[in-house]
Amino acid sequence: MSIQRSLVVVLGVVLAGASALSGCQSRDTALPEAAPEPDFSLVTTGQGPVRGVVAESIVAYKGVPYAAAPVGELRWRAPQPAAPREALLVADEYGNRCMQPPEREGFPAPKEAFTQPQSEDCLYLNIYRPETAASDLPVMVWIPGGGLVSGSGARPVNHGGNLAREGVIVVSINYRLGSFGFFAHPELSARNPDGGRLYNYGLMDQIAALQWVRDNISAFGGDPGRVTVFGESAGGASVYALLASPLARGLFSGAIAQSGYGFRLYQNIAARVAPGEASVEQGGVALVERMQMPEASLATLRAQPAEVVVAATDFSNFIQFAVDGVVLEQSIHDTFASGLQAPVPVIVGSTDAETAMVPPEAQRAGMARYLSDAAMTALAPWYGGEALRDTFLQSDFGFHSQVRTAGLAHEKAGNPVYVFRFGMAPEGSTRRELNDGPVYGAPHAADMPYVFGNFTGDHLEPTEPGPVERQVSRQMMAYWTNFAKTGDPNGEGLPRWQQSQGRYTMMFTPDGTESRADNWAARLDELNSVVSSDRVPAGQISGE
């Protein structure tokens, strides 16, 4: 064999061996195929498959039922589970709104287009998540306001897309309102079909929605262990009630109450009233009388068209929750005072001029239901006179003083508390100087466009916000979503938000975003002291 041929043979053997070795190594060390990224546009819930709609980097699932339609025999019953289905739910349209009051003088229809019809079949929720493969995302459950008589989780101002882009899942819900959500009657109480759960059906719906989120949100890429409830006005009042309700315990890990009211006022079912006090059953009897059916059975009342119930409902006052001994074991105020509320971090706050748009004479007349003339006179110097007292006392009584009471009580129980005051006033508002600092003039609900980043014009905010409005909105969205992620609103690039410690509040104003000592604390403490010593008996209070 020639030397040249020998080299070729040897080289061939070496290459063959290398090739064999390479093949062996390839089989032994081959990486497993990467798992496909999850496609959250199609998910499977406990009731069946749901397909969302992808648009502008957001996956939205609209009109997902979280409970059975509360109609027929389920009217004025605790919510029942939604029925399973085999068919695919294409969640591209919002569900019905719950029954609402007719348009009333002094309560103009919103500029936003409410395109969803009204119906008792209204227990739906909407889910927004970023169009990414991320999972175990924190969840924010929005509870809309409206005095517990109106509202919807599908309002354009509350669209959850902008918040979802911050790395969270946003869920917005409907719950029963008015006489469908808050009703008691002697026959219903005597039958007691839901084990003592009476009257607070709208609040029970909120709890049922949170239970649905706990059981299903992981399919959407959410973390059921990181759920923050947040709401404004009646939604803020609902957040207080959820913190106080033992049935909601463990369903959320944080809470944000924006302009919550009703903290100190409450009603009772008949079994819990003191002699001479009114019960919520009496309100149900009055409703039936207005329906001109005083002797009707419960079955007959349930058979009446929803429009008949709406027409007979008294919408002159906002609705309050009631102590039934199960959903709410005692008043929300007493629960917090006893330290028995849910031990979770909270953000609480309000706008700086909640009801200042109401004429002072009307506010003075309204406050006469709650405070004596002597108390009103004693409070006037804190405002610099009667004129400013009559302009701002109702805001302090209904909102600011209750934020302070809730925050102090929650902090006393050992929980983190962050307090804010929102002062981004709309164009045309009046800035006024009280004894203890300025009021910029932000009315009730003025904070909602900033929290969601949706400037619809429905709350007097500019539809073309300038740099200052955009900056405050970005800051608020970051604070809210940071809180949902960690229980602390602070994060990189944001002004430091100090825990309240009974002293500090975060100010959102055109002059800047700043956490500082609360210059209103002394006035609000004085008001709370006067209220506790000059209080109208709870049974005589119809609303706030």
Give burial (CB, 10 Å; 0-12/13-18/19+) of 36.
exposed
Q: Residue 128 — φ and ψ, nearest 5°? A: -125, 130
From the candidates 444, 461, 473, 515, give the one annotated as an active-site residue.
444
Contacting residues for 496 by C-beta, under 8 A, at least 6 apart = 490, 515
Task: Give percent helix, percent strand, percent coil of the chain, each to the nearest 5.
Answer: 35, 20, 45
- Catalytic: which of 166, 232, 281, 354? 354
How far is it, in rounded angstroms, from Cα 416 to Cα 318?
Answer: 30
Q: Which tokens is 320 given?
A: 């309050």
Assess whether 444 carries a catalytic annotation. Answer: yes
Specify whether the CB–CB gap between 132 and 79 falls below 8 A: no
185 is catalytic: no
From edge to edge, which strands make up the β-sheet containing 346-351?
A: 53-55, 58-65, 124-130, 169-173, 137-143, 222-232, 254-258, 346-351, 417-422, 504-509, 512-517
Strand 58-65 vs strand 124-130: parallel, antiparallel, or unpaired? antiparallel
Judge whether 233 counts as a catalytic residue: yes
505: helix, coil or strand?
Answer: strand
Beta bridge partners of 346: 255, 417
From 233, 245, 395, 473, active-site residue? 233
- Residue 114 φ then ψ, to 5°: -90, 100
Positions marked catalytic: 233, 354, 444
